[in-house]
Structure 1
Amino acid sequence: MRIFHDAAANSSVVGLGYPGQIFLSPGGTGGPDYTCDNGETTHTWEQGADQATGVAGWVPLCNLVLS
């Protein structure tokens, strides 16, 4: 998944997350619509950090598996 600088697809990408890595997010916000690779569209963006790499930023909710 792409980790964006801001909660918008036209924002710069600050890093990547991979399956099995944990993206720790204290919460999210509404933002522009984003269509994920699985075809799902969301307007919810989660702010947090990839725990494997330390890269912090915003990720569209449809790119996360919630647990």
Structure 2
Amino acid sequence: MQTTKREYETGYSLRRQHQFQVGDRVETCNHCLGTVVRLDRDEVGVFVVARLDILPGEFAYDPWDLEKIK
């Protein structure tokens, strides 16, 4: 039997995951700026896909690694 590590989701963590929308401007944990292109979920959890201003391509981030730019 395979054991799955699960993180407890509190009300705060659920709000954090859903604060991003497509088109939002964000800053990554290493201070790169970009735009959210989609929100997705896999067997590990929710992730945010962003296109960075300084690099070609799209990159997946944990919601905790991004800050929304107001």
Q: What's the TM-score once normalised by structure 2's chain length?
A: 0.43
Larger relative contact order (Cα-Cα within 8 Å, sequence gap ≥ 6): 1
- Judging by fraction of residues, say which structure has more strand: 1
- Judging by fraction of residues, say which structure has more helix: 2
Q: What's the TM-score once normalised by structure 1's chain length?
A: 0.45
